[in-house]
């Protein structure tokens, strides 16, 4: 039966089906990207984006891994990401969601590929386990040869973040730890001191957990590296 001979209701149904299909495809395409303004920097590879509907999305930069907060260059990496993205309008091309509920994606601030730029400036490593882009390895090699960012550190201090976290989870000492917990010379603000406490179960509240993370160098309290210690206490 030709289209001219088909009943009008049949043609209408076909048009409706096509329209619904196009709407679904448009929604899928829209869901693959997020746009908004960066309103927070958690660490060197995680930021917070405020969308058009005032919703906040925590974004973990795909394919890179920045030094943890208490690693050598950890604070510098966070500042680098802040310089590149904080307060700017960005576009995030999504790659999925991680086990902590963060959106994984590539972040673009105008024409700048923020993920690649973090590698180029020596503020992050290529995350070997999740890398899909071979060009990032070349960018990292260039940064290494130019001794930019963390690559200017002594070799013994350049522990890949994933190895650092594994050592923390296993309770192992790091081969090269360039910091030490401050001496417990007296109570700090809030009455906390750096004493023998080592685990979240020993913390009385979130304030104490944050003190141990920021002042005592007890990075094991922040197992996922998002800057929030003992999440059962601080969520």
User: CA 179 → CA 15, 72, 160, 175, 199, distances in Å?
Assistant: 67, 8, 17, 12, 19
Range of the structural domain that residue 38 is part of: 33-155
Q: How many domains does the chain have?
A: 2
Check pLDDT > 90 for residue 75. Answer: yes
* 225 — pLDDT class (breaks 50, 70, 90): low
**What does the block give as tokens for 133?**
């882009």
Please tell me whether residues 81 and 195 are part of one structural domain: no
Q: What is the pLDDT of residues 41-52, one digit of tens each?
A: 999 999 999 998
Asked if residue 77 lies in contact with residue 44, where contact means CB atoms within 8 angstroms, the answer is yes
Judge whether 171 lies within some domain.
no
Mean pLDDT of all residues in 51-75: 94
Please give the structure tokens belonging to residue 33.
């990207």
Q: Which of 87, 75, 114, 95 is nearest to 34 (CA)?
A: 95
Do 102 and 137 lie in one domain? The reply is yes
The per-residue pLDDT for range 162-203, each reduced to its tens digit, is 999 988 887 655 554 333 333 333 444 456 776 667 788 888
More reliable by pLDDT, 65 or 53: 65
* pLDDT over 90 at 147, yes or no: yes
How far CA 198 is from CA of 163, 171, 190, 206, in Å, comes to: 20, 10, 18, 14
- Does residue 217 lie within any of the structural domains? yes
Q: What is the pLDDT of residue 179?
A: 30
Query: Between these two residues, 171 and 90, which has the higher pLDDT value?
Result: 90
Hey, which residues are catalytic here?
60, 68, 102
Tally the C-alpha atoms within 13 A of residue 208's C-alpha that lie toward its C-beta.
16
- Average pLDDT on 27-45 reads 82
Token pair in block for residue 66: 């920045």
Strands (DSSP E) contained in 79-218 are: 89-97, 103-109, 112-113, 125-126
Q: Which two tokens stand for residue 113?
A: 């590929």
Asked whether residue 18 is assigned to any structural domain, the reply reads no
Do 48 and 118 fall within a single domain? yes
**Residue-level pLDDT at 182:** 36
Output the average pLDDT for the chain. Answer: 82
pLDDT band at 10; cut points 50, 70, 90? low
């Amino acid at each position: 039966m030709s289209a001219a001979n088909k009943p009008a209701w049949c043609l209408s149904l076909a048009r409706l089906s096509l329209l619904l299909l196009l709407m679904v495809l448009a929604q899928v395409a829209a869901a693959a990207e997020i746009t908004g303004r960066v309103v927070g920097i958690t660490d060197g590879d995680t930021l917070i984006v405020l969308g058009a509907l005032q919703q906040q999305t925590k974004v973990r930069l795909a394919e890179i891994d920045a030094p943890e907060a208490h690693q050598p260059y950890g604070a510098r990496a966070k500042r680098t990401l802040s310089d590149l993205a904080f307060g700017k309008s960005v576009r995030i091309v999504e790659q999925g969601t991680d086990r902590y509920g963060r959106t994984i994606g590539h972040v673009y601030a105008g024409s700048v590929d923020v993920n690649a730029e973090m590698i180029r400036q020596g503020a992050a490593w290529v995350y070997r386990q999740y890398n899909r882009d071979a060009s990032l390895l070349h960018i990292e090699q260039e940064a290494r040869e130019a001794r930019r960012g963390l690559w200017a550190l002594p070799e013994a201090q350049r522990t890949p973040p994933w190895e650092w976290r594994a050592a923390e989870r296993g309770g192992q000492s790091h081969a090269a730890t360039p910091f030490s917990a401050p001496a417990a010379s007296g109570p700090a603000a809030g009455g906390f001191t750096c004493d023998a406490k080592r685990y979240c179960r020993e913390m009385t509240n979130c304030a104490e957990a944050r003190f141990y993370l920021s002042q005592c160098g007890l990075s094991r309290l922040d197992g996922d590296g998002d800057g929030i210690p003992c999440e059962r206490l601080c969520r």
